[in-house]
Structure 1
Amino acid sequence: MSNLNILFYLIVIRIKQTKGSKLQKLKSIQTLGEKSRDQNQKRFADILSEKNKYTRVKIIFSK
């Protein structure tokens, strides 16, 4: 009986470990997505600021 109990506990521990690793993978994928979203937002803000610079220059020259 003790051997069966030990086997059962080992199986339970292994299941918990695989669940944990899957969660960690999901979290890493999520953080990667957040990082790329942040980078895209920064790029968009940069593009907008560059467009604003050019429009300001155009306005100054048109006046």
Structure 2
Amino acid sequence: MAPTVDPNGRGYRILYRQGETNYCPGCGHANWYIGRHAAECAFCATVLPLGASTHKEPEYALAG
């Protein structure tokens, strides 16, 4: 039987959070390139996964 993984028991995870000041854990700057799944520091290229608040489905509207 395979062990189960508890996502809440993984400990502290550094995430990029939209709407907050995010300092890079690598160099301390706060300038980021934001992609679809990750944010990359503009100075040292450290990559952080996006926090849950940035994972939004695109909203589509019919042209009319």
* Alignment TM class, shorter chain as reference: under 0.3
Bigger helix fraction:
1
Superposition TM-score, scaled by structure 2 size = 0.18
Superposition TM-score, scaled by structure 1 size = 0.18
User: Which structure has the bigger radius of gyration?
Assistant: 1
Q: Which has the higher contact order (CA 8 A, sep 6+)?
A: 2
